[in-house]
Copies of this chain bind each other. A is one copy, B any other.
Amino acid sequence: MPGNSFGTLFKITTWGESHGPAIGLIIDGCPAGLRISEKDIQKELDRRKPGQNALTSPRKEKDKAEILSGIFEGKTTGSPISLLIQNADARSKDYKKLKDLYRPSHADFTYDAKYGFRDHRGGGRASARETAARVAGGAIARKIIPRVTFKTTLISPDMKTIEKIKKEGDSVGGLLECVIQNVPAGLGSPVFEKLDARLAQVMLSIPGVKGFEIGSGFKCVDMKGSEHNDELLVKNGKVMTKTNHAGGIVGGISNGMGIVFRVAFKPTASITKKQQTVDQKGNKKTVKIEGRHDPCIALRALPIVEAMAALVLADEYLIQKTIR
C-alpha cells in the first residue's frame, strides 16, 4: 500500500497538499448507525487550528470539514465517509524563492530523491497541514470507542521558554505524554500488530517525532525484573496491576490499565536564523526561512496524538469483535 492509508477495518486515507485547493480524507469501514455531526468533527479541528495563540503559526485557516458522503440524516450509513477541508489561506509565493533550495531538516532533498521532483509549495504532502485530515478522522474514530478518554500534556518547556526562543528566531522541541483511560482489556494482537507497535508507528508518522516510549519506557533499561514487573491483584472484581510499568499493554494486548506513552517532537525545522545548505544542482547556499511557523510543534500536536491513538483503538475495537 502506498502509505496514505492506515487501518485494517477502520481505515483512514488522507490526501491533499498544503498549497493545493483543499485537503481531505476518507474513512472506510466505519460501522453503520453511528450518530456523527460536523460539529463533532469541528470540535477536534478547532483544537488543532493554527493562529490560536501567540505561540502557534498565524496562518489563518477556517479548517472547516465538509461531509461529502457516508452520513445520512445524521447517521453513518456504512459507506465511505468523505470529508473535505478547503485551503483558504495558502500563500504559495512565500515559497517560490525556496524552489530549488534544500531546506535543512525539511523533506526537500528526500522528496527529490524519492520522486525525481517535488511540489515545493509549503512542503507539499510533508506539510503538517496534512494532519488536519487525521484530526478529523480521529473525531470519527472516537465515536467507535465513546467511553475511552484521552489526556495529553506537554511535559517539557514552559510557555515562557517557548516565547523567548521564538523571539530569537529559533524553535524548540517538546515532549508529550498521553494517558488513555477505559480501554477494555484484550485489544491488540501478539506479533507484528502489537497494540504498542501500532501506537509507535502512528506516533512516528506524525511530522517531527523522533521517539516513542510506553510505560517505563527508556528507564526500563536500568531496572531489574523484580522492580519492573507489575504484580497482579483483583480490585472490585477486576484484574489490575499494582504498578503500571507496562503502560497498559502486555504482550501487545491491552490489560485494562491506563495506556501511558510519551512522544518526543524535534524543534521546528523552519527557523529564521541563517543556515548553510545546497540547492538542487549542488551549489552551496545560505537560507533564512521566512513565513509563518510554530516555535514548538509539540504544542499544536496534542489533538493529533490523540487522533492517531483513537484511530488505532477504533480499528482494534472492531478487530476484537471478530476474535471470539
A271 within 8 A of B: yes
Count residues on chain A whose CB falls below 8 Å from chain B CBs. 150
Contact with B along A184-213 (1 / 0, CB 8 A): 111111111110111111111101001111
A58 CB-CB contact with B under 8 Å: no
Q: Are A225 and B324 in contact (CB under 8 A)?
A: no
A306 in the interface (beta carbon within 8 A): no
- Distance to closest chain B CB from A17 (angstroms): 6
Given contacts A26-B26, A69-B17, A107-B190, contact A278 B233 (CB under 8 A): yes
A52 contacts partner chain B, Cβ-Cβ < 8 Å:
no
How many copies of the polypeptide does the oligomer hold? Answer: 4
**Residue numbers in B under 8 Å from A82 (CB-CB):** 15-16, 22, 24
Residues 207-231 of A at the B interface (beta carbon under 8 Å): 207, 210-218, 220-231
Q: Quick one: given A14-B191, A105-B250, A197-B205, are A214 and B217 in contact (CB under 8 Å)?
A: no
- Footprint of B on A, CB under 8 Å? 1-6, 8-9, 11, 13-17, 20-24, 26, 28-29, 31-33, 66, 68-70, 72, 75, 77-82, 84, 102, 104-107, 109-111, 113-119, 121, 124-126, 130, 156-157, 165, 170-175, 184-194, 196-205, 207, 210-218, 220-234, 237, 239, 241-242, 245-247, 249-256, 264-271, 273, 275-278, 282, 284, 318-324
When C-beta atoms are compared, the residue in chain B nearest to A297 turns out to be: B225
Q: How far is the CB of A19 from chain B (nearest CB, A)?
A: 9
